[in-house]
Structure 1
Amino acid sequence: MGKLGCNIDGNLDDAKFSEPLPWIGIYVAAASLACLILMAVDGIQGIRYRKFWFPCKYFSLNATSLTLIATAIKLAVDLNTSMPRRQDQLAKLSSTVFICTVMGNSMPSLGTMENKEMAMNIMALGILVITVIVNICIQLGTGVIYVFWKEHAFIMFIMLVLLLFWTFSALTVPTTKRYLELKYNKKYELALKESSKETSKTVVNKLREDLMKYWMMAHTCSPQFVMGRSVTCTATGAFCLLSAATLAEAMVRSYFMPWSLKFCIGKSDYQWSTTLVLVIQTIAVGVGTFAPAFRWFTAINFSCQNRGNTLWNKIFKVEHYWIQSLVEMKECPLTLRVRHRHFRKLAHAAKVQFLNLCIKVQTGIVLTSKVIRLISIFIVSQIFFCCSCCEDLKKKFKFKNGVSNTESGLESQLSLKLDLRRFVLHLEGEDVMVELMMKCKCDPTDHWMRMVGKKQPKDLIKLLETSTFSQGFKGVGKCDSNQVPSLGSEEPPNCWVLPVVTLTSIAVALPNINPCSIKQLIHGVNEGLEYVRLIEEYLDARDLLNIRKTAEVVWLGVELYRKWLDVDLHKLSLQEKSPKEIVQQLADTAKNRSVEFHTKPTNQCLTQSPSLWPVKVLAANSMYRISQTILQNCESINDQMGEKLFEAVVVMISDILGACLTNLQHLIPIKCLSSTIEEREESVRHAVYILGKTEKILNLLEQRAPPSLEPQKMACIDEWRSLYMQKNPSPFIPSSLESETASNDSSDFYVSIN
C-alpha cells in the first residue's frame, strides 16, 4: 500500500478529485437561485408600488451580492474542467450573460452608496469582470470553450461597456446628490411658507397637502430614481436586452437547429449539475433583464410621446453635472508630497491629462447613450405609430357624447388636484420629466392615507378621549409635584415616556380593577408610545438617551410580564391591601433603591450627573416622585376607592400623551427633512403613515386651544410642567376624585387641598 494520497506506483492518486464537482455545481446553482430570488423580489416590489424604474432594495451591489455573483459564475471561469456537451457549453455562456444581467439590473443601487463604498464596490466589480474576461479568453485559446466563440466575444464586449458605464456613471452621483439636496431644502422652505399662509384649512388637510409636496420632492430626488432615469442607465437596458437575446439565440441554435453546431461526445465532471445551473441561470437572466429593459422602454416610450417637442440641439448636449466632479478634481492640487518642483509639475500635468481623457470618455459615454436612445426611439416609434392607428380606429366606434363627458370628468378631477409641478426636482436637461410626473399621476399619498386610515389606534383614541384637553392637559403638571423632596442633590430631566410608563405601572398594581380595563390601558399606552418616541427623537434636542432607555426597560417589563423592575405588579394587586398601601409600598421600594445608590461612596461621581444614573435608579426616582405626589394629596384612600384612583391615573396618562401628541403637526414636516437623501423617500412615506393613523387624534386635539408655548418648547415635558406650575401653583388633586370628594361626606376618604 502506498503513502497517503499516492497510488502503488508512488504517483498522486487523482481518481477522486472530480467527485465533488456535481456538489459544487449545486452550490453554483444555489448562488444563482439566490440572485434570481432577490432580483425577482425587487421586480415584484417595483410593480406593486408602481415604481417602474425598479429600485434595487434587495439586490444591490455590495459585498454580499458580489460574493454571490462570484460563486454563480464559477463555470465561466473554470479553466480546465472538460465541458463537452451542449448543456455544458451553454452553461458557460449563461454564466457570462448572467454577469451582464446583474450589472444592468443593479445599476440604480449606485445612488444609495457613499463615495468610499461606491469606489470599493466598483473596483471589486472591475476585478471580477476583468478576471472573467481573461479566463474566457484563455478557455477560447485552449479549447475548453469550442463553440459560441462569437457569442462569447460579443458578451465580453458588452461586459466591458457596462463596466465603463458603471464607472463613469458613479462619478455623477456625489454631484447630483449635492445639487438635489440643496434644491430639496429650498422647495421644503417654500412648502412651509405656503402652508403657514393657509389658515382656513384644518391641520389634517394642511398636512395632507404638504405631504403630497414632500413626496413629490423626495420621490423625484431619490438617488436611485435619478440614476434609474439617467441616459446611461437606460442604455444599459438595451445592452442587457442584447445579452439576453444572445443567450436566447445560442439556445435556439443548440436545440432547434442542431445541424448548425457540432458538439463533442463525452461527459463533464459536473455531470447533471450543469443542466440545473443552465436552467436556473437562464431564468435568472430573463427575470433580471426585465427591470433594465423596462427602464429602457419607459424612457423610449416617453421620448416618443414628446418627440415633437424635443429640440435636436439639446439631444446631443452633455449636461455639466456629468463632468463636474472630473472638472473639480482637475482644478484641485495634488495631495502627494513631492519635494522637487519639477516632479510636482510633471505629476500635476499628468493628472490634468488623465482627467482630460476621463472627461472625453465621459462625454463619449453620455453621447453614446443618447445615440442608443435616439436609435431606439426611431425603431420603437414605428410600433407605437401602428398601435396609435389601431386606437384611432377603435375610437371611431364610440359615441362622441360619451367621449366628451369622460374627458370633462377627467379634467374636473385633475383641476381639483394640487398642482405639484413646482415640486418636481430634476436635473439639467430633464425639464420634460415634469410633464411625465404629472401624466403618470405617481402621487400615492391619498392611497396610503386610505389604507392606513383603516388601522386607527382605537385604544389610544379612547384613552385620549378621557383627557382634560379642554383644560390644557392638567395631568402633565399634576403627576409630579414640586413639594416632593428630592432623594438626590439634583433631579434628572424628564422625558415624556418615563412618567407614562411609571403611571401605567401604578395603575396595573391597583387592586380590584377589571382586567379588561388594564389590558385596554396597556394597549392604548403602547399605541401612543409609538408616536411619543418619534416626537422625542426628532423634536426634543436634549440628550435624554439614558432616560429614554430607562423608560423602554420599564415598559418592557410592564407590557410583557406585568412587572416594574423586579416587583410583580399583578401579584401586588391581588394582595389584601388598600390602594394607598400599594402606592406606599411602590414608593418605599423605589426610595430604598434610590437611597442605596446615593449612599454608596463609589457612586458619588454619578450623583452629580442625574441623566447618567443607572437605569434602575432613574426608574426608582420616577416611581418615588409620582407615588409620593399621589400619597401627599390623597390622605385617605379606602378599599372602595381603587377604581376611582385608577381612573385618575388614567386621566393623567391621557393628559401626558395628549400634550405630547400635540407635537404631531410639527413632527410630520420635520420627519420629511431630518434624513439623508437616500432615506428621504422612505421617511416621507413613514410621515404619511403617521398622518393616516393619527388623523382622528389630530382632529380631536385640534378642538383645544394651543398652549402658550413656542413650537420648539412644546416638545419638552418640563416646559409644559413649568407652564402649569405658573398658572396653577396648587398641588395635585385627581380630577376623578374631586367629584367623589364633593359627594362623599364620610371620613373614609378625604383629599387635602393645601
Structure 2
Amino acid sequence: MTSTGHVTDDIDVEQLLERPMHCIGMYVAAASLVCTLAMAADTFNGFRSKKYWFPSKYFSLNATSLTLLAVVMKLPVDLTTRMYTATDRLAKVSSLVFMSTAMANFFTSLGSMGDKDILMNVTALAILVITVTTNVFIQVIQVRNLLSGRLAFAEELLALGSMLLLLVMFSSSALMIPSTKRYLETKYKAMYKFALNEEQVEMGNVTTDKLRVLVKKHWIMAETSCLQSVVARSVTCTLSGAISLLISLVLVEAYIRMAREYRILNQSNSSYGWSTKWILLTQTTGVIIGTIAPASRWFIAISFRSSNEGINSIKSAIRVEGYWTQKMMDWKQSSLSANIRHLKTRKFVHDLRGQFLELCIFAQFLVVLSSKLVILVSVCIISPPILFFNYVRRLKRGKRISDSGFSRHEKVSKSTTKLDLDIKHYVMLLEGEVELPTDTVKSICKEVDVVIQKGKKHKPKELLKLLFKSHNFNGVIEFDSHHVPSLHSQNLPYCWSLPVVTLTSIALAIPNVEKHKSNTLLNSVTEGLSIVKLVDKHFGKKGDLANVRTAADVVWVGVELYHKWQDNDLHETSLKGKNSKEILQELCNKAEKTVMEFKRDARDCLMRNPLNWPAKIIAANSMYRISKTILLTHGVESDKTDEEMFEQISIMIADIIAACLTNLARVITMKCHSNAIEERGKSVRKAALLLGETEEILGLLQQRELPVYLAPDQAAYIEEWRGLFKQENKNNN
C-alpha cells in the first residue's frame, strides 16, 4: 500500500515537472519563427533590390541571432527527454537542418564586421555548433545498442556533418576577410584617383552628365567591392549554397520516407507533446525559405562560370590565391606578443606556433581547393542545360529585335557600348575571380538611374523658385556690414546656415506681408537648409564652427516648428501694426541685450572666445549684426514698403543659398568617396539621391559666373566669399 502510493506520488511529481514542457516547446517554435522571418526578410530584400547575392541585413551573425539559435537547438541538445516517435525524430532532424540553413545564410554577414567582431562571433558560433555536436554524440553513445531502431539516424548524421562542414568553411571565409579588405582598399584608392583625374570634376566646370557618370563609376566600385558581395562571390560561400540545398533535400527525403512507414505529424510521445508539431512546422518552413538565398548564390555563380571563357579560366586557375592564407602567414612571421624572457622558451613557443599555423594554412589550402574542385564539377554538370537555355533566349531576343527594327537596336547599342566598356573598368574583382557578365554590370548601372530618378521625385520645387530670384551673389556681402559696431573684440565667423535662418526669422517678423508669401519663403528655406547643412557638414570637419552650426540648428527648430525666434513669437510680432523698420529695431535691441547680459554675467575664461559661446548667444549676436546692417543699409529708405523690404531680404537669402550650393558638385563627389568600406555603398546611394534631387539646381547654377579668384577650397566657406568681395570692393574704390 505504501509502496504503491509512493509510486503514484512519483508519477504525479513527474507529470507536474513535465507540464511546462509544452510551453518550452512553443518557445522553441517562436524562436524558430523569428529566425525564419528574418531570413525571409533578407531574401525578399535581395529580390526587391535585385541584389541576388542577398546581403545579410536582418539575419546576420550577432549575439541576438546566436541566442535565438541556441533556443532553436533545444531538441538536439536534450539528453533526458525520450523522443522515439516519427514526429519527434523528424523534429530533431529539422532542428539540425535548420541550423545548417541558418549558417549558410550567415556567410555574407561576415563582410559587415570588423576583425574583432568576426573573431568573437565566429568563436561563439563554433562553441554553439560543437556543443550541439557533442550532445548528439553523447546521446548516440548512450543508445548505441538501440541504433537499429533509431528513426532517421542516417539523416541526423548527415545534418550534423553538414553543420560541421559549414563551420569549417565559415572559419575559412573569416580568415580570408582581413587581407581581402586591405587589398580592396588599396585597389579602391587607386581607382578613385584614376576616376577623379579622368573626369576632372571642378567647381564652375561641372555638368550633371559628368556627375552622373562619376556617380555610376563609384557605384560600380562600391557595389563590387562591398565585402558582403565579395564574400558572396567566394568559393566557400558558393559551395555553402550547394550544401544548404542538399541538406534541405535530405529533410525532404526524411519526410517522404517517414510518410511511407508512419503517420507523421500525428502524435508525439515526448514530454513536449503537441508543441513538437509546431516546432517541426516552423523549422521546416524556415529550411524552405532559408534555402532560397544560399541556393540562388550557388546557381548564379555556376551560371557566371558556364560560359566557355569561364570554364577555361576555372580549369587554368585551380590554385589558392594569396589572400586566403595571407592573414595566417602574417601571424606566422610576426613576433610573439607574450613577454617571455627565457630565450629557449620563447624559441620553443615561436616554433610551436609556427607549426600550428602551418597546419592551419594547409587546412585552409585543402578547404579552398576542394571548394573550387566541387564548383568545377558542378559547372561541368549543370552548364550544358544553362548554355542551352541561354542560347534559346538569345534566339528569341534576336527575333524580337529583328521584328521591331534592326536600325533602332544598332543605334542604341552603339550609344551604350562605349559607356559600358568604360564602366566595366571600375568593377572591383579579386585575383582569380571570374569576370562579371555584362548584363550584371548593366543591371548595377541601371540601379543608379533608378535611385537618381527616385531623387528627382523629391526635388525641392519651392527652393528652385527662390533661387530664380538670385541674379548675383551680392547678398553674401550685404547681410553683414563692417560698419556695425561689434559686441565683442573678436568677430564671430559665420557658417552658411546661420545667416539664412537669421534672415528668414527677420523676414517672417515683417508686418503687412501676405501670408502665402511668408509660408512660401518658409517652405523654400526648409528645403534649402537640408542641402546647406550638408555643405556645412562636409567642409566644416575641423570643428571650429561647430557651435555656430549648432546655433543655426537651434534657431531653425524654433522658427520652423513654433514660428518663434528665442521665445519671441514672429507671427505675433508681425501683427503688432508696426512697420518693418520698427520691427528690425526691436529685434536688434533684444539681441543686443541678450549678448550684453551674457557677457556681464560670464565668469568662465573659455567664454572670452566667442566661438565657445552657447548657441543662444551666438544666434543673438547674429541677429544683432544682421538686423543692424539692414537698418543701416536698406532701412534708411523711407519710401520702401514692408513688402519691398520682405522681397529684398528674400533675395539676400536666395543669394546666400545660391553661393552655398555652388559647392554641390564637390559635396556629391565627396559623398561618392567614403573611407569606411562598410559605409561606402550607403554613401554613394546618398550621392545618387542628392544628384537626382538637385539636378535642376546644378543646371541653374551652371549659368552663373563665379568670382574669378575664388578657388574651389575657398568657395566652401562663406567667410572666404566675404573676404574676396571686400577685397574687390577695396580695389574698385
TM-score under structure 2 length normalisation: 0.92
Shift of 1:277: 2.1
Residue type at the aligned position of 1:673 = H
Query: 1:519-538 alignment to 2 at 5 Å?
Result: 519-538=519-538
Match of 2:258 among 254, 268, 271: 254
* Amino acid aligned to 2:597: E
Are 2:704 and 1:704 equivalent residues in the alignment?
yes
Deviation at 1:506, TM superposition (A): 1.2
- CA pair 164-583 structure 1, distance change in 2 beyond 3 A: same
Counterparts of 1:431 and 1:149 in 2: how far apart (Å)?
40
Structure 1 residues 712 and 497 mapped into 2: Cα distance closer, same or farther (>3 Å)? Answer: same
Aligned to 1:560: 561
Q: Could you tell me which of 233, 246, 249 is aligned with 1:242?
A: 246
1:73 is the counterpart of 2:44: no
Structure 1 segment 306-345 matched on structure 2, within 5 A: 306-307=308-309, 310-311=312-313, 314-345=316-347
- Provide the residue aligned with 2:58 in structure 1: 58
- How big is the shift at 1:491? 2.5
> Structure 1 pair 369/456, CA: closer, same or farther in 2 (3 Å)?
same
Partner of 1:277: 279
- Provide the C-alpha distance between the structure 1 equivalents of 2:388 and 2:292, rounded to a whole number of angstroms: 24
SS at match of 1:690: helix
In the other structure, the counterpart of 2:457 is: 454
Equivalent position of 1:672 in the other structure: 672
Residues 561 and 34 of structure 1, relative CA distance in 2, 3 Å threshold: same
State the one-letter code of the partner of 2:289.
V
Q: Could you report, residue by residue, the CA deviation over 1:161-208 in whole angstroms, capped at 9, with x for unpaired residues? A: 111111121111111111111111111111111112999986111111
Residue 188 of structure 1 pairs with residue 192 of structure 2: yes
Match of 2:468 in 1: 465
Alignment of 1:542-621 (within 5 A): 542-543=542-543, 544-603=545-604, 605-621=605-621
Match of 2:435 in 1: 432
Alpha-carbon separation, structure 1, partners of 2:389 and 2:440 = 23
Q: Secondary structure at the match of 2:83?
A: coil
| Offset at residue 407 of structure 1 (A) | 6.1
**Paired residue secondary structure (2:369):** helix
Q: C-alpha offsets along residues 583-619 of structure 1, whole Å, 9 cap, x if unaligned?
A: 222222222221111112423x122222221111111
The 3-state SS of whatever aligns with 1:487 is coil
CA RMSD in angstroms comes to 3.0
Contact 1:578 1:638 in 2 (8 A): no
Query: Is 1:225 the counterpart of 2:229 in the alignment?
Result: yes
Structure 2 Cα separation of the partners of residues 395 and 685 of structure 1: 32
Q: 1:173 aligns with which of 177, 191, 201?
A: 177
Contact 2:585 2:631 in 1 (8 A): yes
Amino acid at match of 1:360: F
- Does the Cα contact within 8 Å between 1:463 and 1:521 map onto a contact in 2? yes
Q: 1:547 to 1:400 in 2, by over 3 A?
A: closer
Where does residue 743 of structure 1 map in the other structure? none
Report the equivalent of 2:423.
Answer: 420
What CA distance in whole angstroms lies between the structure 2 residues aligned with 1:398 and 1:652?
58
Q: State the distance in 2 between where 1:19 and 1:202 align.
A: 74
What residue is the counterpart of 2:105 in the other structure? 105
Structure-1 separation of matches of 2:7 and 2:588: 83
Distance in structure 1 (CA, Å) of the matches to 2:497 and 2:326 = 49
Which AA in structure 1 matches 2:581? K
Q: Deviations over 1:65-91 (max 9, x none)?
A: 222222233233223233344333222
| 1:16 partner SS | helix
Structure 2 residue ranges without an equivalent (≥5)? 1-5
- Corresponding residue to 1:373 among 375, 388, 401: 375
How far did 1:392 drift?
A: 8.3
Q: Distance in 2 between matches of 1:706 and 1:200?
A: 7
Determine the structure 1 residue equivalent to 2:159: 155
Distance 1:506 1:20, change over 3 A: farther
Q: Measure how far apart 1:305 and its partner are.
A: 1.6
Q: Which residue of 2 aligns with 1:133?
A: 133
Paired letter, 1:627: S
Amino acid corresponding to residue 231 of structure 1 in structure 2: V
Q: Paired residue for 1:746?
A: none
Superposed, 1:650-729 pairs within 5 Å as 650-707=650-707, 708-728=709-729
1:679 & 1:539 partners in 2: Cα distance?
A: 19
Give the one of 364, 386, 389 matched to 1:387.
389
Change (3 A) 1:403 1:280: farther
Q: CA separation in 1, counterparts of 2:419 and 2:463?
A: 32
The number of residues matched between the two structures is 721
1:543-592 deviation per Cα after TM superposition (whole angstroms, max 9, x unaligned): 12222222111111111111112222122222222222222222222222
Post-superposition Cα deviations, 1:670-722, rounded to whole Å, max 9, x if no partner, equal 11113411111111111111111101000101111122311111111111111
Q: 1:444 to 1:249 in 2, by over 3 A?
A: same
1:91-130 per-residue CA deviation (whole Å, 9 max, x = no partner) reads: 2222211111111112111111111111101111111111
Task: Identify the structure with the greater helix proportion.
Answer: 2
**For the structure 1 residues 72 and 431, does the alpha-carbon distance in structure 2 shift closer, same or farther, using more than 3 Å as the test?**
closer
Q: Cα 1:306–1:523, aligned 2, differ >3 Å: closer, same or farther?
A: farther
How has the CA–CA distance of structure 1 residues 496 and 266 changed in structure 2, closer, same or farther, with 3 Å as cutoff? closer
Is 1:444 aligned to 2:443, yes or no? no
The alpha-carbon deviation at position 298 of structure 1 amounts to 0.6
Preserved contact between residue 111 and residue 177 of structure 2 (Cα < 8 Å): yes
CA contact (8 A) 2:203 2:665 kept: no
SS in structure 2 of the partner of residue 482 of structure 1:
coil
Deviates more, 1:637-646 or 1:331-340: 637-646
**Aligned AA (2:342):** H
Q: Structure 1 length as normaliser, TM-score? A: 0.89
Residues 207 and 37 of structure 1: CA distance in aligned 2, closer, same or farther (over 3 Å)? same
What one-letter code is carried by the residue in structure 2 that aligns with 1:580?
K
Q: Does 1:48 align with 2:51?
A: no
Secondary structure (helix, strand or coil) at the match of 1:531 reads: helix
User: Relative to 1, partners in 2 of residues 1:82 and 1:520: Cα closer, same or farther, differing over 3 Å?
Assistant: farther
SS at match of 1:323: helix
Change over 3 Å in CA distance of 1:285–1:197 after alignment to 2: closer
